[in-house]
Structure 1
Amino acid sequence: MSKFSIILFSGTDDKLIPVGVLAQGAAALGMDVQVFVTGWALMKFTKKGSNVVFPKEFEQMAPVLMEGMKKANAPTWVDMLKEAKSMGAKVYACSLMASVMGLKKEDFNDLVDDVVGVATFLQNAEGGQTIFI
């Protein structure tokens, strides 16, 4: 089985949406999918969550994008990741960044399968395709 790994650093919705699309698509193709959540993206995966955020340069386009997604009846990035997980995809929080941010495994929502270090992620990703978002 081919492997597809995503390193997710950005917590802005313009980055989270493609992560959902790619993870769901790769899982549907039967690929072994893992998402390694690090940096500011970690906050989107906590039980507290965080608000919808777009980078400053896309601020004016955010309402257009969100309305377009709604009109297209497109699922949210959360729903796409849930669907990917139902097909076997795994979502991991970066242990170093979680520690730096004072987060423990119990602080994360049910999208997160585990909190792992970069060595574990790299071992799991070995021999596959990896992208950084």
Structure 2
Amino acid sequence: MSKLSIIVFSGTDDKLIPVGVIAQGAAALGMDVQIFVTGWALTKFIKKPANPVWPKEFESMVPLLMEGMKKNNAPSWADMLKEAKSMGAKVYACSLMASVMGLKREDFNELVDDIVGVATFLQNAEGGQTLFI
């Protein structure tokens, strides 16, 4: 497997952490990595991102998780994505959802490389592994 594409739909931090881990790991292995951000996840990739959001069933465990991440010097999901990008990973915002949410290129933070449609994403993903998170 030399190509990994990740579709990121959820805007909850419990999903974004694995996106960062997997993207960084795949990029470190030399894989071509592309991340397609759509749905509620777009709110985490704008210049003024949404506050951390955790599913209700995990809220009681969040302090322990945060303490463990700090104790292990684990980077944030955003820092992991920055590292993946430094190794060639690309992050794309979904053009349809961006339009529906009234977001333009200038609204997105430095993690987003471009706004593309699903056809472009699918063409880029062809022949590789695709994950939906």
Q: TM-score, normalised by structure 1?
A: 0.98
- Tell me which amino acid in the other structure corresponds to 1:98: A
Q: CA offset at residue 59 of structure 1? A: 1.0
Partner of 1:56: 56
CA displacement 1:80-125 (0-9 Å, x = unmatched): 0000000000000000000000000110000000000000000000
Q: TM-score, normalised by structure 2?
A: 0.98
The residue correspondences of 1:12-27 to structure 2 (distance < 5 A) are 12-27=12-27
- Tell me which amino acid in the other structure corresponds to 1:22: I
Partner of 1:2: 2
CA RMSD in angstroms comes to 0.8
Q: Secondary structure at the match of 2:119?
A: helix
Partner of 2:104: 104
Q: How many residues align?
A: 133
- Tell me which amino acid in the other structure corresponds to 2:76: T
Partner of 2:66: 66
Q: Which runs of 5+ in 2 are unaligned?
A: none
Cα distance in 2 for residues equivalent to 1:106 and 1:94: 14
Please identify runs of 4+ aligned residues in structure 1 that moved more than 4 A: none
Q: Which runs of 5+ in 1 are unaligned?
A: none
Identity in percent: 85
